[in-house]
Structure 1
Amino acid sequence: MGTLIGHVAPGFGFLLIGLWHLFNHTKNYVLNPSSYTSSQWFPSSKLRFLELYLIMAGTWASIAMELVIGPEKHQPFDSDGTIPSNHLHNFEHATISLSFFIYATFAIILDRLKPKAHHELLQLLAAFAFAQQFLLFRLHSSDHMGMEGQYHLLLQVIILVSLITTLLGITYPKSFIVSFIRSLSICFQGVWFAVMGFVLWTPGLIPKGCFMNLEEDHLVVRCKTDEYLDRARSLVNLQFSWLLAMFAVFAMVFYLVLLRMCPEKVEYWSVGMVDEDGSEDLESQKKSHSIIEESKSFVSMGKGSTAVEIER
């Protein structure tokens, strides 16, 4: 992951999944706000598990890149079979990818078996993946005291939002705002990964007074003085704040546009025939219908008998 493509590629994956979730959550809520229920993944029209297959393929490619393709010897171990210090970050990144691979694999298994509480278990697996991601970035083996450290610190804030909203989704499965924020945070992760990759590994985008330095077989941004370092960190904070403002505007525009494109379905219910959870009681509807029909027939019989008596 410590390269330009190593940040942009997973960033694109997070952004793609986040936009897919954002679209489906918003569409489902706009069409059926009363019966909306959050979902952790969404089937496609032609291939049901396409989203999960893409996650599995992307994470598997990431693991291969970190442990096999990236290292010079095409394996991350030292001559004595131990993990060298310059490859610790490769194992950490691969472990994050493994967590999301486990989530996608069990999402398919749980969907096919459909055991009890499989929705809650899937949310828990997603929370496990985000928790793993947060902890490994928090306890990263690389030196994150400089400009790169500021990027990773703010990345942890975004991951924490994804983790918290995923856990809230277990308790509040019908909350649209929880799912909406989680989808936005996944999109934000993707954009922030891409920004980090471009700024830290493009010489022309490195802040003034800072430079790229080769350390432990990978390039790291260093600054000449503490003053330049403080300036670089402040620029990172500004980038984060501007992107956050852009995402706030994007979220509102996205929702309003989809609201206009997908008008709400109007549903009519008989008074007193709706359960507490908003679902229709079909048995009550049938009983009510039969009672009405019986009342009508009784009235008709009454009118008929009255007419006969008058003739008599």
Structure 2
Amino acid sequence: MGSFKGHVLPGSLFLLVGVWHMWSCLVQYVSNPKSYKVRVWHPVSGFNGKLKHLELYVITGGAFIDMCIELLYSPHLKIFVNGMLNPNHMNDFEHSGMLLMFFIFGVVALLSVKTRYLPLPEGALCLIAAAAFCSEYLLFYFHSTTHKGLEGYYHLLLVFLVGLCIASILAGTLLSDSFPADLCSGAAITLQGLWFYQTAFVLYGFMMPEGCHLKGNDIVCRSAESETRGELLANSQLFGLVLGVLALAVAFYGLAAKSFGHSDLQSLLVSGEQEFD
């Protein structure tokens, strides 16, 4: 069982990174569509280059802070009990392990782009990012906390979104010039962040479905019909978020094309229309 803050904090990190990834890859595409290359992270322009690596700092710092909360604060520094890991906080230790992978990705990426000691190609950084999402997938799929009922259904949909992140990043690794794969990666990360928020509001906030309530550490529904209604509501919520992210991508594309559009962009659109004629 988690908490409202325990879902909002990682959700905020995924949402920030995902939205920035979507915007950046759209700007990169409309600026020079013929030379598009997949990037696992995107620099922040301007400010004399002082904020160039801001995304990597957000990932590294955010993962580190959240990892410290899960590893140190949540178990109140009682990591070991009777010579073994505290059995009452195994889920916190699992979360910290997942966050450690994202922290490692951020550190490795910073070392790669800011120093000469670990020069890695973009494909290698993509694989490390995919490995971090794989650890998240395995965590939620084989969680020591048994998610069941309505809570389990929300986490099942989360596992699906994490899998989508893995697939899109791997596709970008194999197809290094694929704009759709890169955009899909940003959209999947954005959706994951939004779904963390959605889970927090439903399971621990004001959007609890009728007939279900929080009892101790479990979500309890008074009947099978109430639980099924809650699951159908979850499907509708995910569908609405997908539509929202698609609308955001279209809005971003229009704004980016207007502000940064290259002449090659219009020629590509014209040639594409001629192929269908």
When the two structures are superposed, what TM-score results if normalisation uses the length of structure 1?
0.79
Alignment partner of 1:86 out of 60, 65, 88: 88
Give the SS at the match of 1:40: coil
For residues 183-202 of structure 1, the aligned pairs below 5 Å read 183-202=186-205
**What is the aligned partner in structure 2 of residue 162 from structure 1?**
165
For residues 134-283 of structure 1, the aligned pairs below 5 Å read 134-202=137-205, 204-214=206-216, 219-266=217-264
2: distance between equivalents of 1:122 and 1:90?
27
1: distance between equivalents of 2:170 and 2:77?
38
Return closer, same or farther for 1:250/1:118 CA change in 2, 3 Å cut-off.
Answer: same
Is the CA contact (8 Å cut-off) linking 1:67 and 1:75 kept in structure 2?
A: no
2: distance between equivalents of 1:9 and 1:193?
9
Query: Aligned Cα RMSD in Å?
Result: 1.8
**Structure 1 residues not aligned, in runs of 5+:** 268-312
Cα deviation for residue 55 of structure 1 reads 1.2
Higher RCO structure (Cα 8 Å, ≥6 apart): 2
**Residue-by-residue CA offset, 1:266-312 (whole Å, 9 max, x unaligned):** 59xxxxxxxxxxxxxxxxxxxxxxxxxxxxxxxxxxxxxxxxxxxxx
Work out which of the two has the higher radius of gyration on C-alpha atoms and give 1 or 2: 1
**Residue-by-residue CA offset, 1:100-126 (whole Å, 9 max, x unaligned):** 001001001222227675212111100
Give the SS at the match of 2:209: coil
The amino acid of 1:55's aligned partner reads I
2: distance between equivalents of 1:74 and 1:207?
36
**What is the aligned partner in structure 1 of residue 274 from structure 2?**
none
The amino acid of 1:239's aligned partner reads Q
Cα deviation for residue 143 of structure 1 reads 1.9
Larger proportion of helix: 2
**Residue-by-residue CA offset, 1:70-101 (whole Å, 9 max, x unaligned):** 22x333332x0322433111111111100100
**Structure 2 residues not aligned, in runs of 5+:** 266-277
The amino acid of 1:207's aligned partner reads P
**What is the aligned partner in structure 1 of residue 50 from structure 2?**
46
2: distance between equivalents of 1:230 and 1:169?
37
The amino acid of 1:99's aligned partner reads M
**Residue-by-residue CA offset, 1:21-67 (whole Å, 9 max, x unaligned):** 11111101101011111111122232332211111111111111112
Give the SS at the match of 1:221: strand
How many aligned positions are there? 260
**What is the aligned partner in structure 2 of residue 30 from structure 1?**
30
Cα deviation for residue 151 of structure 1 reads 0.9
2: distance between equivalents of 1:114 and 1:23?
30
2: distance between equivalents of 1:2 and 1:114?
39
Percent of paired sites with the same residue: 34
Is the CA contact (8 Å cut-off) linking 2:9 and 2:66 kept in structure 1?
A: no
Give the SS at the match of 1:113: coil
**What is the aligned partner in structure 1 of residue 72 from structure 2?**
68
1:77 and 2:80 equivalent?
yes
Is the CA contact (8 Å cut-off) linking 1:200 and 1:221 kept in structure 2?
A: yes
1: distance between equivalents of 2:189 and 2:78?
31
